[in-house]
Structure 1
Amino acid sequence: MPRTLNKDKLLKMIKDPSPQVRMKIASLLFRAMEKNILTPRDHNGAAAMFAIAVDDPDMDVRRNLARLMCRSRHALPEIVATLACDEIEVAGPVLKHSPVLQEEDLVYLSRNGGRAVRMLIAGRDGLAGPICEALAESGEADVCRLLARNHSAALHPRDMARLLGRFRNNSRLSSEIMARPDVPATLKREVMREVSSSLHDFLLQKKWVSPQRAKSVVLGAMENGTLDISLTASEADLEHLAHRLAREGALTPTLIMRSACAGYLRFVETALSVMAHLPRKRVQSMLRGRGPFGIRAIFTKAGLPKQAFPLFHIAMETCQELIRESGGAGEDAGFHCRVIERVLTKYRDIAASDADQLLKMLEHFAADARRIERRQEDQRSIAA
């Protein structure tokens, strides 16, 4: 602090009739605090000056103080807390950026402030779970949408589910939530199931297809969607998904065969580990080992139908062949289509007849895979 400035002179300047003078002295004091060049006594004096400035009748003075302190870790907590409760024109920078505001402060402001306050808080970086919960409880669509779009916010899956339920008719908000990288696979599948149920009811209402065909279309879409979800799931998330499917009775032989014949290896290994009650690493070594014995052992332990084993064995061998041919690239965009086409070619050679039920199922899987591949190519072309 310049030696020419004493406490009495500072007090006189902070109460000067000119707002510009009051803003200038506040700026000088704050820069001195930031540079840590004040003695403890001077620091206390500066704090007293800020206590006067934060109640200044001129909004420009308070707004200037908020802008000075909004990003500083050295700002005085009591001054920042007062600024955060000021009019939104003053509080805005502090609410959006201040690292001094604590979690409990932000929870309180989220629950007791106005919509504009919540909008500013929802855009903050690194929001903790309790703050996200308080914002989600507001039920304000624009606040919740901004929160969903904030990928640095620790939005709990429970709160995601609540928002999806509350705003089920708000497609923009639902899309923002589903675009988050931390949406669990189980929640994605739950949303997909609701959409599939609506599709089923729509098809029956319009009488465009028979009830049996409507059920088949929806089941196929659900299975393909589940496998698509599994591609981006973490190991833990994929395991949770497999356990959920098992509890719902949805971890069916048809789904296992579809995933095997299309080369969704991570899903196959995780699903079989759940069905056989074995560690995933153990299942992986059995499926990827040389010869059919390990594959047959895990297939049998998982309780899958014996007549499907030849097809399952071909699928597992084909996956390993293609992985070796691609230099270990694994499940890229075209991998699944290549696997199922080669499996189909191999299985035709051993099928009892064209009426073989497994062959029909495999041809249906292949048709689905081709449609998905064409759709992905179209999407890539549009994006380019």
Structure 2
Amino acid sequence: MIVQRFVKWCETATSSQRAEGAAILSRALVDGRITEEERPGADAALILLLDDPSPKVRHAMAMELADGRGAPRAVLRALCEDNDSIACIVAGRSPALSDDDLIDLVATGSNALRGAIAGRRLVSTRVAAALAELADAANCVVLLANPGAGIAGISYRRLAERHGDIAAVRGALMARSDLPSTVRQTLILRTGQALAELPMLRNLIGGERADRLAFEACERATALLADNICEGEVAALVEHLRASGQLNVAFLLRTVCGGNIDLFAAALVRLSAMSDRRVRTILADGRQSAFRTLMAAAGLPAASAPLFRCAVAVWRDLAVGRLSVAVEDVPQVIMQRVAGSFADLRGETGFDEIMRFLHRLAGETSRDAARQRARQLAA
């Protein structure tokens, strides 16, 4: 009966009146003011309103039904397939839409619709995964800025792979507190690449120097990242660096000179295939022959063994109080010890290059310490 009366009324009502009637009917349904006996008729009336020629009517329905759970699913899905000004209201707010509904809308909908879904109060990891795979950069920024979005590690990786060359996406990714360290390191490389490719920088200092500065900045940023990750992420970061070819002598030297012996040990375990216990025993004992065997098993140049052994010994001496030196001076101390004790290795393949890197590292740490003191004095 309700459908018949409603249809008859719609024949003479204006579009504004029909919109008001649609809003009243939708609100009554959401508020639970329609009885079970009246419900089939009300649902049928709403379905009929979907065919109204005026978008005002469907907009009024969307505004009233978007926040409720009682609307017929068929009506909600139909509204989500309407024009964006209507569809985005429902897709962005309705708690009655399932993850499957939302994933389907992400796959088939417009950019505006994806943006509405990315900004929902709560976004499940499944829906976030679909957005990470299909949404454009702007909508991915919306997703990343949404504190109610649950984003899995694999989705973070896809976001970095698809849009990591866009500064806004990199910034939004870096702002997420749950971003895996492996993805952060990937973004470090993408940022360095973007920096090196800046036309202004390349014109100012030349392409070769720009590439070198970007590479060195990525090295330092990666070492800083490695110093600040939790224990549970160490193995994943080590494997990421190994797979991407970054687990080299330079990185390991930065790591051990910075005192991150746990990461250094984890890297040697992965490279050498020795057990964690065996690697840590060798590092603790510091025996020359065992150290050389470890370096060889890890595929590192023989010339690096004395240097790494010396670096570990310096930190061991600091730990037990046999040496008193500022942390920023550790690379300089290591360099002096190596130069004095292993002069006979000069000319051996890789040794001179390693010493040049250590000299650069000592300069970097000294300058960083000076800047820090200057900031403290200026504060």
Q: Distance in 2 between matches of 1:279 and 1:354?
A: 29
Tell me what 1:315 maps to.
315
Tell me what 1:61 maps to.
57
Correspondence list, 1:101-250, <5 A: 101-124=97-120, 125-126=122-123, 128-129=125-126, 132-133=129-130, 136-137=133-134, 140-150=136-146, 152=149, 154=151, 155-164=155-164, 168=165, 170-181=166-177, 183-193=179-189, 199=196, 220-233=216-229, 235=231, 237-250=233-246
Shift of residue 80 of structure 1? 0.7
Q: Distance in 1 between matches of 2:204 and 2:19?
A: 73
**AA partner of residue 158 (structure 2):** R
Correspondence list, 1:242-321, <5 A: 242-278=238-274, 282=277, 286=281, 292=285, 301-303=294-296, 305-308=304-307, 309-318=309-318
Q: Work out whether 1:341 is the aligned partner of 2:329.
A: yes
Tell me what 1:328 maps to.
none
Tell me what 1:79 maps to.
75
Change (3 A) 1:35 1:57: same
Q: Distance in 2 between matches of 1:380 and 1:58?
A: 66
Shift of residue 43 of structure 1? 2.0
Tell me what 2:349 maps to.
none
**AA partner of residue 315 (structure 2):** A
Shift of residue 112 of structure 1? 3.6
Q: Work out whether 1:17 is the aligned partner of 2:10.
A: no
- Paired residue secondary structure (1:41): coil
Q: Distance in 1 between matches of 2:333 and 2:145?
A: 46
Aligned partners of 1:83 and 1:91 also within 8 Å: yes
Q: Work out whether 1:70 is the aligned partner of 2:66.
A: yes
Q: Distance in 1 between matches of 2:70 and 2:292?
A: 63
Shift of residue 130 of structure 1? 6.0
Change (3 A) 1:137 1:245: same
Shift of residue 69 of structure 1? 1.5
Q: Distance in 2 between matches of 1:29 and 1:202?
A: 61
- Paired residue secondary structure (2:37): helix
Change (3 A) 1:287 1:301: closer
CA deviations on 1:189-220 (whole Å, 9 max, x unpaired) are: 44544665674999998796997x88875654
Aligned partners of 1:184 and 1:233 also within 8 Å: no
Aligned partners of 1:132 and 1:147 also within 8 Å: no
Matched positions, count: 356
Q: Distance in 2 between matches of 1:143 and 1:201?
A: 25
Tell me what 2:87 maps to.
91
Shift of residue 50 of structure 1? 1.7
Aligned partners of 1:34 and 1:74 also within 8 Å: yes
CA deviations on 1:32-69 (whole Å, 9 max, x unpaired) are: 44454644322222212222333333433322211111
Q: Distance in 2 between matches of 1:44 and 1:94?
A: 22
CA deviations on 1:110-140 (whole Å, 9 max, x unpaired) are: 34433333332333341545665467546x5
Shift of residue 344 of structure 1? 4.3
Aligned partners of 2:226 and 2:263 also within 8 Å: yes
Aligned partners of 2:329 and 2:366 also within 8 Å: no
Aligned partners of 2:189 and 2:218 also within 8 Å: yes
Change (3 A) 1:274 1:349: closer
Aligned pair partner of 1:367 in 363, 368, 373: 363
Q: Distance in 2 between matches of 1:306 and 1:266?
A: 18
Aligned partners of 1:135 and 1:143 also within 8 Å: no
- Paired residue secondary structure (1:352): helix
Aligned partners of 1:84 and 1:94 also within 8 Å: yes
Shift of residue 273 of structure 1? 2.7
Bigger CA drift: 236-245 or 39-48? 236-245
Aligned partners of 2:328 and 2:369 also within 8 Å: no
Residue ranges of structure 1 left out of the alignment (5+ in a row): 322-336
